[in-house]
Structure formats: C-alpha cells, structure tokens
Structure 1
C-alpha cells in the first residue's frame, strides 16, 4: 500500500492560509498530474515491503523542481524542506534524494510522460492555444553524462580487428606447417571464428600436456632439453591464440554496440560523439551526446524523441511514426528545415503518411540566387529537349541518354538515376570549366539525373511559393527554435545527469514538460 497522501487536506506544520495565484506553476502541475487516470499509477504499486511514496506526489515534486532549474536529487530533497510550494505538493513528506533519483529513471516514468503530453495537448486544443494544422520539427544535440575522452571509434575497431584476423590466420598456417596441431574444419578461409580458436587452443593444451608427460618420463638430459624447447614454443603459440580469441570477443562486442553508428562512449554506450556548438577545446572537438528531436506548435512541445545518430535526416521516419502512435494521427503540414530534406523522407511523408511536406532541401536557398541561375556550367541550368531526351551543354554539345543506374547509400536506400553522356568532349575550349581539369583528356562529360528527386524539388518549390503554405513555413524558426532556447538558456538544461537511452528519455521528457509548464504559466 502507499503512504497516506491527500492533496485536499493540509498537514501540520504547514500554515492553512497558504494560497497561490491561479497561474502559479505549482497549481498547474497539481492540476496536470491529477488529470492522469489512476490506472496509470497502478503499475508502480509494490505488493512487498513497506508502503511507498505515492507516484502522484513524486511526479509533482520532480516536475516542479525542473521548472525551477533544479536537476539534482539532493537539491530537490533540500527544496522539500525549504520551499512552501514543494511542501504543499508533497504534503509534508520528504523522500530522500536516492528515492527521487530512482523514481525519475524508473522504466514506468516514460508512460507518465506520454500521458502528460497527451493530456496537455488536449487541454491546449480545447483552449485554442495551438492548432492541428501544422507540426514544426527540429533537433538539437544534448551533451551526455559521459566523460569527454572515452571515445571508441568504428574505424579503429575495424583496423585492429583486421590485424587480429590476419595474424591469427598466419599463426594457424604456421601451426599446420610445423605439424604442431592437426588441421581443423573451418567455416571460412578468410577468418577464424571464436569456436575455431577455442578448438586450436584445446589442441595446443593437449600438445602441452603430452610434452609435459614425455619430459617427466624421460631420463635423458638432451631429450628433455629438446622437449622443453618444443613445449616453450607450444605455450607461446597458445598464449598468442588466447590473445587473438580475447581480442576477437572484445571487437565483436564493440561492433554490436556500434550498430549503425561510427562511435560511442565507453561510459555510456548509447551516447555518440557529436559536434556541439559549445566547443570546450575550441578546435572542433567532438563530445558524447544524444540527438533530441521535438515537434512543436505555437512554441509548445507536443512530442519528442531521443536518438543516438547525430544526423537529423534519418531520425524523421521513426519520429513521425512515434507521434502517430502517441496521438493517433499527425497534422496535415510537416514543417522542417533542409536538414530533413531527402528523397527517402519526401517519399515517406507523401506516400506513407499522405501529408503535405514543407521541408526544404540543401540547395534550396542557393538555387534562388542570381549567381547560381546565371552560371552556365551548373547542369541544372542546361537546356533539356523533352522530345528526344537529351541535354545541351554550354558549348552546344548534346548529352544523350545512355542507361539507367542504381545507387544505394550507406543505409541501404536505393535511388534511381538516368545517365547522359556527351559524344565528344575532346578539344572543347570550355573543358576546364565544365569538367575537373585532373580528369583524363579523353574522358567525356557524364550527367546523372534523378527524376524522382527532381519531382520532389519542383513540388517543394511549388508549395513554398503558395502564400498560405509559405506563411506556415515562415513560422518554423520562431516556433521550434524558441523551444530550444527555453530549454537550454532559460531553463538552463544543457547536460544530462543520467546514462543509457531509456533513462535519458525519461529525464528529457521531464525537462521538456517543465518548459511547457513554464510557458503555460506565463
């Protein structure tokens, strides 16, 4: 059972005449948490041991502390004895900092946070504070609670792993050639597996024991001396094989941790080294961190996601799916900057979600400049003959269609291209401006065109030329960027205090809800 907790009755020694203004943060938090259905708190119920603090009370004091820029469990415990609002929310109860810290990273905390976001959105829609037409998305990097110089790089692991494979194969061939061990059945001639290394080690153990027995049985000094030399060599090989096996196990574990990333921190395996704006070394030093994605409307944060990959492009599909799961649907307009502009994301929004995208691409602003439009050597400005399907270069040479090509990026997404080639570029006076001067003098100009990408670019330009959708896109900066300013500058939340992604999601959910509550109070 829970300890006695009744918010409607004050307990001594708190003064009964204490009252707060209607817009007070403590009252907003109390109303918000009390709106959570009771069944949500039942998963916290513990049937064994002494009675525990009520999750409602714990959630209220944690939320209030975060709104006051207090992120330390010890400082929260102090506020419970010092702040009249904290005393009122806790009804005089004083859980220890250890209890507070355990509560805010409890696996069930994410369920509370999701219910809070759903409830807050419903309230904001009812009060007509936000609209349902658009969702503004952006990301930022949050520094992880990990040591700065605990980096582990994928390139280094691959390099050393390759060295282990080469050396272990060489040692195995040497053992066979010297007839120290019998040849074993291998799965692949390229690499020795952990099981195969184990078998080699067992053969060497047997060989070592056999030589030891012969040494003990022999009475000849010369024979014993020769056998000891052989045993010494066997033990040397055994030590090398054991080292190869241990290192292989270590590198295999590291490769599992990497996943599709290129780095991780040794003190927080879920954190990836990313380039932060606040560079402590002033030399482009990377820091361990997480990629925080948020979706806003009227500067209120309606959803968030935490990711380990530093790029924003690949976070959008899973982020939109999580929003749809949370709210049942997503708004009509998906608004984001050029960091999210990719063929894969455009295809997903238009085909899978059937929504309108207002997302620019990397060259969007540059293509609007006069210098870009007037440059005759940019292939996007070349004349195109739709009937005969060919392009005309600045020297009036024709580039005709040759073949279809396919390309896959590092994550397996396939893009389709059309290849156009010029028949003759030899002796062209514009060759150096049109092509790389280092290329072979006999090389002809090749032009790759992606019809799908060209369609999406035209679609984006059309959408952002319409006054209505252009007006929605213009709100992006003041809508989503201000939320990050409220989080990092006004709230002062710039570094995480917990490790592993599940706990990070809980803490960031509390911090983002604190930002919403502060804005609601204003």
Structure 2
C-alpha cells in the first residue's frame, strides 16, 4: 500500500457507528466528568469510553477484555475511539465506578432526544418485568426462613435449659427468669448461658445438659450476632446470595420445558413505548406487584412527566397499584388475577367475587339465593404494609343445600371475605379493559414491551449480569437499555434516510 488507509473512508456513511457517535456527542456528560479528580497521569476522555461501551453493547460484546481486543482490530471500534486503546482494566473501572449513580441521567437524555425526534410521546406507556440472573453462586445462599427457624429453636432450647436448672436449683434462680428467651441480643444470650453455668457448676447435672451448655456457650452468642447481621442484609427479603448479597433467589423459567429454576437474580422493570425503553428500575422482589410504586416514582422523577395511560398484565393488579395510578391521574389498563379466566368463561360461579352484592342493604347473595349477612370487618396489611379493610359475610343456613359440595368445604355455614374497595377497583378495571380502547391497548402491549425483552435476552444474548451488587448491575441494565434504544433509533433513521441527529 503506497499510502496508509484512512479509516474515515473505510466506514460506510450510513453505518450505525456514525449515528451512535453523533448522538453521544450531543449528550451532557458533566456528571461523569465530575468523577475525575484531575491531576496525575493522563486519562482517556469519558465521552470516548462511553461511546466505546455503548457501541460494544450494541454489538453484543459485554466483556471488558473482549472490548480491549476489538479496539485493536475492528475498524468501527478503531474509528470510534480515534485509534485509542484503553485496556480492559480502564474499561471496567469506567463502567463499574465512573458510571455509578450518573448513567441514569445520560440514559434519560437519550429518551428525551427520542421524544424531540418524534419517536415517542411519553403519553401511553407499557410496563412489564423480567428476571435476569445475577453473577453469583447458585449454591451459596442464606434463607430468611432458616434464620427464623434456627432462632426459634435456640429460644426453645434456652427455655428448656432454664426449666431444667430451676428443677434442681429453684432458690438460686428465683425471680431471675427472663421475660423472653428470644435470641436477638448476643450479650443477653451470653449472660443467660453464664448465669445457668454459674448456678449448675456445683450441682449434679446430667451429662447431656452439660454438653448442651458447653455448645451453647461456644456457639449461640456468635450465631445470634451472625443471624442479626444476615437479617440486616435481607432487609425484608426471603433470601440472598453470599457472593452477591443484593441478589435474591427467584424462580426463573428458562429451559425449553419451562421448569422452574431457583437462581439468584434481579427483577428488571421497564416502561416502553413503540418498543423503546423509557425507564428502567431494579428490584429484589420476585413478583411484579410491589415494584410499580417505585417504578412510577422513578419515571416521573427522571422524565419530569406523568403518562396519560399505563397498560400492564395481571401481575400488577392490586389495590395499592390501582389506587396509586388513580391518585396520579393515570388511566390504568391493568389486568387483575382472574381477568383472563372471566374472558374465557372459565371462572367458577361459586367464587366469592362472582357472587352478587346488594350495596344498598349490604348483603351478598349465595348461589342458592340465600342472603349472606355482614359479620363484621377487620383491618389487614399486605406484605408491603398496605392496609386493607376486609368484611366477612356469613350464610345463615347451609345444611341440606344441594350445592354445598361445589360451593364450599367449610364445616359450618359458609363465610367469605370481601374487600369492597378492591372489588370496585376491579370492576372499573374490567370496564376499561373490555372497552374498545382497552382491547387495542391489550393487543398492543404484547407487541410492545415483550419484544424488548426478547431482543435483549435472545438477540443480544444478555441473560446474566457480569457485575455484582445492585449499584453495578443497574449500570449494566442502563447500558443495555441505551444500546437497545440507539440500535432501534439507528434502524428508524436509516429507513427515513436521515441519520443526522443534529437535523
């Protein structure tokens, strides 16, 4: 070659890398730049590293070592980086440290560019979630239920030891019995064991009791402290992985037979419109029901906008979510758990929510026409602490009823629990979902938000995080969401033959 090649001539004018370069040149990255203290040796510009990372995610390349190799031999990466060759440590530090807590703002700028270009309007959104496996050991875990069982067992054994000590040293232990043997304070557990040892040291004690006391003295105070620390990490969850304490064990349907597999992971929630990702949040909850309040709050905070309508599946149908959307002025097209069965006519006529309610006289009509009278109300709290009012209704006489075997299996007269507020909210939701607009939105939801997950998991092969901890995993899902949006924007721009973001 007589003259060295020019990379500018080797990159096609309509190549996606040019669009990515143009879009990211227009973003404000002052928040990222502020993380560089200055001084010391020269460093690579954060905009350059951001471009490289986003384009790598578009190309389904997530390994920092693999990206390092591409910067040395792939002409698109070489052109984008201006022949710079940061090593994998630099790339990984930028991704896991410099983008922490600031990438969401950069992603929001991309969403606002999509709004300005007319690709999305932020008015009608679809919400759904998927579970993504964490980069954590599947076999090193802590269960909240096991901690509770062990603490209860410890408390029971402490009480038995005290009862035994009282049987042979009643005078010494008189008026000294603890009010409770709950092992929550390691010092209290240690004090109780020391007190028992002191009382029994000169007594003829059973050999097994001595062994148990010695074991308790060596292990129980330390175990109590360990359980307290584990419960602090759990923070209300039912499990966590020892190699990534932020990850919760969730049942994932990943094999071709859809067999449930229990793996550490995160629940990723997204809002979408026209198959663009508008917002994303991560949650430790295995189910979607409790994720909506935090997701909507983050949506409104990031985009400074409240959507007009929201469409979601039955996983979000709860009193808390319906009332939240109603208070926010968002028209909710959200299914409840039995909506599809009702549509298909497979709902049992004996189900409590299928029985007729006379609001004027406050009674429910059973399948035989008997009036079930109000038997009192009580307050109940959900697992999220949301308070509900439940009313009991009881039939007056179920003896000899020919439908009793199909109606209920209770010993006496049938009693049902009714949440009138939720019942009314479900009726309103059903009316919206069955309307012409509701039917269109239900059809569109499946073709809007589901393909986003399909593209991320199947086409892009992103089924497992590479980093650990919620803060770093949030960066990963932000990069993959940004890559998805820019890749789709690039295709739309090429279709319109308009790749200039400035235009």
- State the TM bucket, normalised to the shorter chain: 0.7 to 0.9
1:369 aligned partner: 344
1:432-463 Cα distance to aligned partner (Å, 9 max, x none): 12111xx32xx112233222112111211221
1:267 aligned partner: 243
1:345 aligns with 2:321: yes
Q: 1:358 aligns with which of 287, 312, 333?
A: 333
1:480 aligned partner: 449
1:475: how far off?
A: 0.9
1:218 aligned partner: none
Shift of the 119–386 alpha-carbon distance from structure 1 to 2, 3 Å rule, reads closer
1:191: how far off?
A: 2.5
Aligned residues: 484
Secondary structure of 1:285 counterpart: strand
1:55 aligns with 2:41: no
Say whether the 8 Å CA contact 2:254–2:260 is kept in structure 1: no
Say whether the 8 Å CA contact 2:105–2:302 is kept in structure 1: no
Shift of the 154–109 alpha-carbon distance from structure 1 to 2, 3 Å rule, reads closer
1:80: how far off?
A: 0.7
Say whether the 8 Å CA contact 1:136–1:336 is kept in structure 2: yes
2:398 aligned partner: 425
Secondary structure of 2:9 counterpart: coil
- Which whole-Å CA distance do the structure 1 matches of 2:98 and 2:47 have between them? 16
- Which whole-Å CA distance do the structure 1 matches of 2:83 and 2:339 have between them? 58
2:181 aligned partner: 190
1:47: how far off?
A: 3.0
1:27 aligns with 2:21: no
1:492 aligns with 2:484: no
Secondary structure of 2:447 counterpart: helix
Shift of the 199–133 alpha-carbon distance from structure 1 to 2, 3 Å rule, reads same
1:41: how far off?
A: 3.2
Shift of the 160–204 alpha-carbon distance from structure 1 to 2, 3 Å rule, reads closer
2:234 aligned partner: 258
1:147: how far off?
A: 1.5
1:331 aligned partner: 307
Secondary structure of 1:135 counterpart: strand
Say whether the 8 Å CA contact 1:164–1:248 is kept in structure 2: no
Q: 2:380 aligns with which of 402, 407, 418?
A: 407
1:221 aligned partner: none
1:99 aligned partner: 90
- Which whole-Å CA distance do the structure 2 matches of 1:161 and 1:292 have between them? 33
1:55: how far off?
A: 1.0
1:511 aligned partner: 480
1:303 aligned partner: 279
Deviates more, 1:341-350 or 1:157-166: 157-166
1:313: how far off?
A: 0.5
Q: 1:142 aligns with which of 132, 144, 151?
A: 132
Q: 1:165 aligns with which of 138, 155, 170?
A: 155
Shift of the 107–261 alpha-carbon distance from structure 1 to 2, 3 Å rule, reads farther
Secondary structure of 2:107 counterpart: helix
Shift of the 172–50 alpha-carbon distance from structure 1 to 2, 3 Å rule, reads farther
- Which whole-Å CA distance do the structure 1 matches of 2:360 and 2:383 have between them? 36
Deviates more, 1:336-345 or 1:424-433: 424-433
Secondary structure of 1:95 counterpart: coil
Secondary structure of 2:246 counterpart: coil
Shift of the 185–503 alpha-carbon distance from structure 1 to 2, 3 Å rule, reads farther
Say whether the 8 Å CA contact 1:358–1:464 is kept in structure 2: yes
Deviates more, 1:415-424 or 1:299-308: 415-424
Deviates more, 1:504-513 or 1:15-24: 15-24
1:5-61 Cα distance to aligned partner (Å, 9 max, x none): xxxxxxx97725435345423222222222222522332222343122211111111
1:333: how far off?
A: 0.4
Q: 2:369 aligns with which of 384, 389, 396?
A: 396
Return the index of the structure with the highest Cα Rg.
1
Unaligned runs of 5+ in 2: 492-503
Using structure 2 for the length normalisation, give the TM-score: 0.87
Secondary structure of 1:57 counterpart: helix
- Which whole-Å CA distance do the structure 1 matches of 2:13 and 2:106 have between them? 20
- Which whole-Å CA distance do the structure 2 matches of 1:132 and 1:148 have between them? 39
1:281: how far off?
A: 10
Say whether the 8 Å CA contact 2:100–2:471 is kept in structure 1: no
Say whether the 8 Å CA contact 1:141–1:292 is kept in structure 2: yes
- Which whole-Å CA distance do the structure 1 matches of 2:162 and 2:230 have between them? 25
Secondary structure of 1:403 counterpart: strand
1:301: how far off?
A: 0.6
1:75 aligned partner: 66
1:194: how far off?
A: 1.2
Unaligned runs of 5+ in 1: 1-11, 212-225
Say whether the 8 Å CA contact 1:299–1:480 is kept in structure 2: yes
- Which whole-Å CA distance do the structure 2 matches of 1:61 and 1:190 have between them? 59
- Which whole-Å CA distance do the structure 2 matches of 1:53 and 1:172 have between them? 67
1:52-81 Cα distance to aligned partner (Å, 9 max, x none): 221111111111111111111110110010
1:497: how far off?
A: 0.8
Shift of the 272–13 alpha-carbon distance from structure 1 to 2, 3 Å rule, reads farther
